Amino acid sequence: MHVIQNPDALFDIIPQNPTVDNGSIELSPKNKGYNKYIWQIGNDLKIQHLYWSIVRLPVFDTSTFRATLTVKNKYGCTDTVSQTIKIAESDAFYIPNAVSNNSDGLNDEFAPYGWKVESYNMIIVARTYRLVYQGCTPWHPIHEEGVYVYLMKVKFNDGSEKYYKGNLHVLK
């Protein structure tokens, strides 16, 4: 008597908790050696391979979709596994260290940037300890070139708050 092992369509999502920062995700079957691999990505994309291969998908924005893999062995036996994939917001957070005061539309304002920033409040001080800005909206420098100091309180959309301080270069 010969027992035929059923195929197993398990697959990995790499990285396991993808964000928009990743740029792409990979779907990788855990088992090799089947005659057919059929991927269904959401409702729109169907990919079929005769041999084991990794599927790489671009990531542009937050989304949730279903990925389904069906594998078929040489005896015609099949297995299907589906997983829901959630592309989360970025954890990236950025405070620039330089801005320009020339109103050319490039780097003309100073503020924190990130998907999860809910609000902020900041003060900006000249090297002479003179307060040049205090507020909760982007600062548009109209002051002379030089190095300024900022202190910023940032509130994130998970409710956490954090203080940041640093130097800011104002350039023409």
pLDDT in tens, 4-59: 788 999 999 999 999 888 889 999 999 988 989 999 999 888 998 888 778 999 98
Angle at 124 between CA 119 and CA 128, to 5 degrees: 170
Q: Collapsing DSSP states into helix, strand and coil, what is residue 54?
A: coil
- Which two structure tokens, joined as six digits, stand for 2? 């010969």
Confidence (pTM): 0.60
The segment(s) of the chain belonging to CATH 2.60.40.1220 are: 93-171
Q: Give the model confidence (pLDDT) of 133-143 as tens digits.
A: 999 999 998 87
Q: Which H or E run includes 161?
A: strand 161-171
- pLDDT band, very low/low/confident/very high, at 145 (cuts 50, 70, 90): confident
The segment(s) of the chain belonging to CATH 2.60.40.10 are: 11-87
CATH homologous superfamily for 11-87? Immunoglobulins (2.60.40.10)
Contact between 66 and 43 under an 8 Å Cβ cutoff? The reply is no
CATH topology of domain 93-171: Immunoglobulin-like (2.60.40)
In one letter, which amino acid is 119?
S
